[in-house]
Amino acid sequence: MAEHGEWNQKGATLSDKTAMKDYGVDREFILKGIRAGKLEFQERSINGNPYVVILRRQLEQHIAEELGSDHLSLILNQKKIRTLKKEIKETRLKLQSLELELAALDKKE
């Protein structure tokens, strides 16, 4: 069982749609985990559109149990690679803009 505060921690929860995208599982996998009592959930809605929120820790544990810890490691590594590539791209763009700004200031001198 999750502690009540865990539901309020940033990054501790995710929606069913985010779970499907980030972890490569389908909705049925999530629902089976909920029915088996391995995943706690909360039902929420935005603008009348319902969705389910689950705890990231429990989802990762469920994936490791059902699909294997190697599968979970592969998914987490791929997610980390995507994050790093995005950060590198953003840093390169920032560097380019700083170099342009520096060049413009050098021309004024």
Distance between CA 46 and CA 36 in Å, rounded? Answer: 27
Secondary structure (DSSP) of 31-91: HHHHHTTSS-EEEEEETTEEEEEEEHHHHHHHHHHHH-HHHHHHHHHHHHHHHHHHHHHHH
Residue 13 near residue 49, CB atoms below 8 Å? no
Map out the domains of the chain as residue ranges.
1-67, 69-109
11-38 pLDDT, tens digit per residue, is 999 999 999 999 999 999 999 999 999 9
Q: pLDDT tens digit string along 63-81? A: 999 999 999 999 999 999 9
Indicate whether 108 pLDDT > 90: no
The whole-model pTM stands at 0.77
2.20.28, 1.10.10, 4.10.280, 3.40.50: CATH of 1-67: 1.10.10
| Mean of all residue pLDDT scores within the chain | 93
